[in-house]
Amino acid sequence: MNLPKNTIWGIIFCSALISSALIWSNSNKKSLLKNHQVAIAKITDCSYGGKGHAGTITFLYKFVSNNEEIQGGKTFNSAELNFDDAKSFFLGKTFPVVYNPNNPNNNFLLIRPKDFNQFNYSLPDSLHWILKYIRGN
């Protein structure tokens, strides 16, 4: 099968772009695991789906680092969390967030037990209420 040159270059470009994104994401996560601080974030918005995010629920949140407000986002698969529950019970609530003090935009919201476990923390007693809404703990 012969593919046009434009198609081949497009495939190469897309592959390089995806590889770069994966490497960058993995690098950010490793950096965050090695060097992080904890703050309290408030969930400010909740949306379902969207372009490129079919079947997902996205929380937008904000927290303060060095007197600067930082915003972030956390995405859940809709198989893990019901959108109506997300809007009703998570919106406006506060959760811990880990962030890199050298780059607060590199942050990660801790909601599920597995989120806490990644950073060697335990789910606080004050957040055990979320267990009845998160599927597949």
Q: In what order do the strands lie in the sheet with 68-77?
A: 68-77, 56-65, 37-48, 94-100, 103-109
* Six token digits for residue 62: 């904000």
* Predicted pLDDT at 61: 98
Asked whether residue 127 is assigned to any structural domain, the reply reads yes
Asked whether residue 40 is assigned to any structural domain, the reply reads yes
Q: Are residues 66 and 126 in the same domain?
A: yes
* Predicted pLDDT at 1: 62
* Predicted pLDDT at 119: 93
* Contact between 44 and 94 (Cβ < 8 Å): no
Q: Are residues 19 and 52 in the same domain?
A: no
Asked whether residue 137 is assigned to any structural domain, the reply reads no
* Predicted pLDDT at 25: 46
Chain-centroid distance of CA 8 in Å reads 33
Residues 6+ apart with CB under 8 A from 13: none
Which domain does 69 fall in, by range?
36-132
Look up tokens 């079947």; give the residue.
55
* Predicted pLDDT at 77: 87
Q: Are residues 20 and 85 in the same domain?
A: no
The Cα–Cα gap between 76 and 42 comes to 17
* Predicted pLDDT at 24: 45
* Predicted pLDDT at 111: 94
What is the total count of domains within the chain?
Answer: 2
* Predicted pLDDT at 50: 61
How many CA within 13 A on the CB side of residue 10? Answer: 5
* Predicted pLDDT at 14: 55
What DSSP letter does each residue of 2-67 carry, written as one string?
Answer: PPPHHHHHHHHHHHHHHHHHHHHHHHHHHHHHHS-EEEEEEEEEEEE--TT-TTEEEEEEEEEETT
Q: Are residues 53 and 79 in the same domain?
A: yes
Q: Are residues 30 and 68 in the same domain?
A: no
Q: Are residues 22 and 63 in the same domain?
A: no
Q: Are residues 13 and 51 in the same domain?
A: no
* Predicted pLDDT at 22: 42
* Run means of pLDDT, 10 residues per run, the chain, 137 residues: 67 54 54 90 90 78 96 90 92 96 94 93 95 84
Q: Are residues 102 and 52 in the same domain?
A: yes
